[in-house]
């Protein structure tokens, strides 16, 4: 009897607990706030940063490294000598060729060479006679003009022009045959100049000269190191231009129709997530790449606001901006109910009342949607249960 009584009391207590729980106020409704900001519709592409303007430099002749005029990390200018080999035989040859050239020039200048400037002889008597004839005709023409004989004066003026033309031709009357001895010395000067150019070219092979301005990325030699015929052609200095950076990636054929050259790109770097890096689509390959049945197109993005901490090879993701809205009202897609043609929301008032309201939507990025009308900034919108949210807007 006592056991039955205890069981009955226990059951009554459980029933009381259940009913007392049902009497509790409902849990507060989850809401999101209407905010103001920018909305960007973009196509994503992943890839790596690349500094395309870089080169591995080497010597063109064997020898011993005489001097290295740069260090890793140095910024150098185009034409700057970065390193040089010790090649005394080539330097001696160059000096001899310089002397030969100077001697050949001196020998030529000791002839009549300094006294002529072209290959034409001047017929001075003929030129003077033509000028005298022109002057005489001009005087006669002036007299005829004073007498009013314009036609006859015009004919004489034409003869003046003919006389002046004849005087000009007489000044360069016939080709002047340069004396053989002078011509021979001219050829010797040309020959010495060619030999000097060849010696300078050989010296240039013993030097590494910066072909463009940039930063020394690496140096693989030391002063005093001997470079033999087996290894002198190996790259010894790497030069990179950090002022040109691009990013290559692949875009799916579904999205490529929306992308064109000139579009803005926002780039996020895995190593520097806080950096604000922007770029521009500079190239889209007309040829598709097929990987596992998926067609994609190589797309190049050129970076604009370059910063010193960007490195070659960094992993990056670019959002190519297809469309954007600035300073617009935004609402999370999961707060929108109904269909795209007839969307509506439930708005929670300050008094806790829920009001159903029609809204007009604009651009959507798949997470947030632009609100054209129906809501104001700061209003709170009730989130529907996940099972009731419209599939287009989703979570």
Instruction: Give the structural domain span for 340.
Output: 44-50+244-388
Q: Tell me the angle at which helices 180-205 and 88-109 cross, rounded to the nearest 10 degrees.
A: 160
Q: Classify 280 as helix, strand or coil.
A: strand
pLDDT at 250 over 80: yes
Q: What is the mean pLDDT of residues 349-358?
A: 89
Q: What is the mean pLDDT of residues 178-198?
A: 82
Q: What is the mean pLDDT of residues 243-253?
A: 92
Tell me, what CATH number does 221's domain have?
2.40.50.100
pLDDT computed for residue 17 by the predictor: 45
Residues 321 and 279 in one domain: yes
pLDDT computed for residue 2 by the predictor: 44
pLDDT computed for residue 27 by the predictor: 53
pLDDT computed for residue 285 by the predictor: 93
Using CA atoms, how far apart are residues 51 and 157, in angstroms rounded to an integer? 72
pLDDT computed for residue 1 by the predictor: 47
pLDDT at 293 over 70: yes
Question: Is 35 a member of any domain?
Answer: no
The pairing of strands 63-68 and 35-50 is unpaired
pLDDT at 249 over 80: yes
Residues 271 and 341 in one domain: yes
Rounded percentage of the chain residues whose pLDDT exceeds 70: 79
Pinpoint the alpha helices (H) of 265-316: none
Residues 354 and 291 in one domain: yes
pLDDT at 88 over 90: no
Residue 327 CA neighbour count, 13 Å, CB half: 0
pLDDT at 346 over 80: yes
Burial of residue 129 (number of CB atoms within 10 Å: 0-12, 13-18, 19+): middle
pLDDT at 174 over 60: no
Using CA atoms, how far apart are residues 307 and 303, in angstroms rounded to an integer? 10
pLDDT computed for residue 177 by the predictor: 59
Q: Classify 55 as helix, strand or coil.
A: strand
Question: Is 294 a member of any domain?
Answer: yes
pLDDT computed for residue 245 by the predictor: 93
- Number of domain units in the chain: 3
Tell me, what CATH number does 280's domain have?
2.40.30.170
Q: Residue 41 forms beta bridges with which residues?
A: 323
Residues 265 and 383 in one domain: yes
pLDDT at 212 over 60: yes
Residues 231 and 257 in one domain: no
- Per-residue CA distances from 219 to 226, 231, 237, 238, 245 (Å): 15, 15, 5, 7, 22
pLDDT computed for residue 122 by the predictor: 55
Token pair belonging to 31: 């809401």
pLDDT at 366 over 90: no
Short-list 386, 388, 382, CA closest to 335: 382
Short-list 314, 320, 327, CA closest to 300: 320
pLDDT at 352 over 90: no
pLDDT computed for residue 156 by the predictor: 64
First to last CA, the chain: 59
Question: Is 101 a member of any domain?
Answer: no
pLDDT at 29 over 80: no
Q: What is the mean pLDDT of residues 262-267?
A: 94
- Give residue-wise pLDDT tens across range 96-106: 888 888 888 88
Residues 168 and 299 in one domain: no
pLDDT computed for residue 187 by the predictor: 86
pLDDT computed for residue 223 by the predictor: 93
Residues 379 and 271 in one domain: yes
Residues 252 and 353 in one domain: yes
Range of lowest pLDDT (83-92, 95-104, 194-203, 386-395): 386-395
Mean pLDDT for the chain?
82
Residues 321 and 380 in one domain: yes
Using CA atoms, how far apart are residues 82 and 59, in angstroms rounded to an integer? 11
| Chosen domain end from 199, 221, 239 | 239
pLDDT at 262 over 90: yes
Range of lowest pLDDT (135-139, 212-216, 344-348): 135-139
- Give residue-wise pLDDT tens across range 114-149: 655 555 555 556 666 766 777 776 777 677 667 777
Tell whether the torsion through CA atoms of 180, 185, 191 and 194 is positive or negative: negative
In 15-69, the DSSP E strands lie at 31-33, 35-50, 54-57, 63-68
Question: Is 249 a member of any domain?
Answer: yes
pLDDT computed for residue 351 by the predictor: 85
The more confident residue out of 64 and 125 is 64
Q: Residue 316 is inside which H or E element, if any?
A: strand 315-332
pLDDT at 16 over 80: no
pLDDT computed for residue 6 by the predictor: 46
Q: 46-71: b or e for each residue (b if 16 or more CB lie within 10 Å)?
A: ebebbbebbeebbbebbbebeebebe
Q: Classify 215 as helix, strand or coil.
A: strand
Give CA 103 to chain center in angstroms: 50
Question: Is 109 a member of any domain?
Answer: no
Range of lowest pLDDT (213-217, 260-264, 302-306): 302-306
Beta carbons within 8 Å of 113's beta carbon, 6+ residues apart: 182, 185, 186
DSSP characters over 102-118: HHHHHHHHTTTGGG-SS
Question: Is 25 a member of any domain?
Answer: no
Token pair belonging to 350: 């300050």
Using CA atoms, how far apart are residues 321 and 304, in angstroms rounded to an integer? 15
């Amino acid at each position: 009897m006592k056991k039955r009584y205890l069981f009955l009391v226990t059951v009554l207590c459980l029933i009381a607990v259940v009913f007392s729980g049902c009497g509790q106020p409902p849990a507060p409704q989850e809401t999101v706030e209407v905010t103001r900001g920018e909305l960007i519709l973009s196509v994503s592409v992943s890839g790596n940063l690349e500094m395309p303007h870089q080169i591995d430099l080497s010597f063109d002749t064997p020898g011993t490294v005489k001097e290295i005029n740069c260090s890793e990390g140095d910024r150098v200018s185009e034409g700057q000598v970065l390193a040089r080999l010790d090649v005394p035989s080539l330097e001696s040859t160059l000096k001899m060729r310089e002397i030969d050239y100077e001697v050949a020039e001196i020998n030529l200048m000791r002839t009549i060479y300094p006294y002529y400037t072209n290959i034409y002889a001047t017929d001075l008597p003929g030129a003077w006679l033509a000028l005298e004839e022109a002057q005489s005709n001009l005087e006669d023409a002036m007299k005829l003009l004073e007498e009013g004989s314009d036609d006859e004066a015009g004919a004489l003026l034409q003869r003046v022009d003919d006389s002046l033309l004849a005087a000009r031709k007489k000044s360069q009357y016939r080709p002047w045959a340069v004396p053989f001895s002078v011509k021979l010395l001219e050829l010797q000067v040309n020959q010495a100049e060619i030999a000097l150019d060849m010696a300078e070219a050989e010296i240039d092979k013993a030097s590494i000269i910066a072909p463009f301005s940039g930063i020394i990325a690496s140096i693989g030699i030391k002063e005093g190191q001997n470079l033999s015929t087996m290894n002198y052609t190996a790259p010894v200095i790497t030069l990179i231009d950090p002022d040109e950076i691009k990013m290559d990636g692949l875009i799916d054929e579904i999205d490529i129709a929306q992308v064109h050259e000139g579009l803005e790109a926002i780039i996020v770097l895995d190593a520097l997530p806080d950096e604000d890096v922007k770029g521009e689509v500079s190239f889209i390959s007309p040829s598709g790449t097929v990987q596992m049945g998926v067609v994609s197109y190589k797309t190049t993005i050129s970076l604009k606001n370059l910063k010193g901490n960007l490195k070659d090879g960094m992993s990056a993701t670019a959002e190519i901006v297809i469309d954007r809205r600035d300073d617009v009202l935004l609402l999370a897609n999961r707060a929108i109910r109904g269909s795209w043609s007839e969307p509506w929301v439930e708005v929670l008032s300050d008094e806790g009342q829920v009001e159903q309201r029609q809204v007009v939507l604009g651009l959507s990025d798949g997470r947030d949607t632009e609100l054209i009308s129906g809501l104001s900034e700061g209003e709170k919108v009730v989130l529907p249960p996940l099972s009731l949210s419209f599939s287009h807007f989703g979570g």
